[in-house]
Amino acid sequence: MSDDVFTLSGVSREYRSAQKTTLALDDVELTVRDGEFLVLLGPSGCGKSTLLEILAGLQRPDAGEVSFRGDPVTGPRAELGMVFQDPALFPWQPLLSNVAIGLELAGVPAKERERRALAELERVGLGGFARAYPHELSGGMQQRAGIARALAADPEVLLMDEPFGAVDHLTRLQLQEELLALWAERRRTVVFVTHDVGEAVYLADRIVVLSPRPGRIAREITVSAGRPRVHGDPELLARESDIYRVLREIEDPIEPPEWMI
């Protein structure tokens, strides 16, 4: 089996409305390797989430090709688990049912889906909250539940769209550590979207920096620091500084106002 999980060739994506056409991604060439933690990094509006949804089969590119282990991606696949910034838990269902919903839709028998959902809740530190409702949980706990829901289907790949963007800073650091522990345990491939440079450096094996819209791959950066990592490590801080320099280099030039010309 190939070490390449995803291969993208010449991928472009446009959004059209009655008023205008916006080119979100332009001629993206990318390979995602088996077992790596890949981070898509860039400013807001650069097409990170669009690219992730194309990998997930939730969107189709207007040009180019996307393949998963050599097969064209034409829609969602059971091998891919998706985690969004908003965990989107059903407020009328307890946590156990929320985590098991994908298994239920897949036709997994009730006893088996309960067993698997309970195991994943335990794995993310929510074993004692199976009967709790979403409104009884903190934001961090809700996001853990969203991760447990994705893991319950035992996907080969986790696709994560700024999953920690809505929680406070300390909770975010804790969730980062927990995610890396889960990743190390099963070593599944992770593609993670963020605009937080510190988060990218702490998590990633490799960082793909996208340019401002239209999103193009401006730079690929390997993070060679050993694991486990420690927030504030001088090596990581130096890499953050390098990435900020790259981001400044790729920024669109700011046009001066007419009165200054």
118 belongs to a structural domain:
yes
97 belongs to a structural domain:
yes
Name the strand (E) or helix (H) holding 218. strand 217-222
- SS3 call for 239: helix
Distance of CA 184 to the CA centre of its chain: 16
User: What pLDDT, on a 0 to 100 scale, did the predictor assign at position 256?
Assistant: 45
User: What pLDDT, on a 0 to 100 scale, did the predictor assign at position 26?
Assistant: 95
User: What pLDDT, on a 0 to 100 scale, did the predictor assign at position 115?
Assistant: 94
Integer angstrom CA distances of residue 15 from 1, 54, 190: 35, 13, 27
**Contact in structure between 5 and 68 (CB atoms under 8 Å):** yes
The torsion angles phi and psi of 121, rounded to 5 degrees, stand at -60, -40
User: What pLDDT, on a 0 to 100 scale, did the predictor assign at position 252?
Assistant: 54
123 belongs to a structural domain:
yes
Domain interval for residue 131: 90-154
Residue 33 tokens, joined: 């390797």
121 belongs to a structural domain:
yes
Please tell me the total count of domains within the chain: 1
103 belongs to a structural domain:
yes
167 belongs to a structural domain:
no
**Contact in structure between 200 and 243 (CB atoms under 8 Å):** yes
Q: What is the pLDDT along the chain (261 residues), one digit of tens a residue?
A: 468 999 999 999 999 888 888 899 999 999 999 999 999 999 888 999 999 999 999 999 999 999 999 999 999 998 999 998 888 899 999 999 999 998 998 889 999 999 999 999 998 999 999 999 999 999 999 999 999 999 998 999 999 999 998 888 998 999 999 999 999 988 899 999 999 999 999 999 999 999 998 999 999 999 999 999 999 899 999 999 999 999 988 875 444 444 434
User: What pLDDT, on a 0 to 100 scale, did the predictor assign at position 3?
Assistant: 82
Distance of CA 24 to the CA centre of its chain: 18
229 belongs to a structural domain:
no
Query: Does the model's pTM come out above 0.75?
Result: yes
Question: What order of strands is seen across the sheet that includes strand 63-68?
Answer: 21-33, 4-16, 63-68, 71-72
Q: Write out the DSSP string of 117-155.
A: HHHHHHHTT-GGGTT--GGGS-HHHHHHHHHHHHHHT--
54 belongs to a structural domain:
no
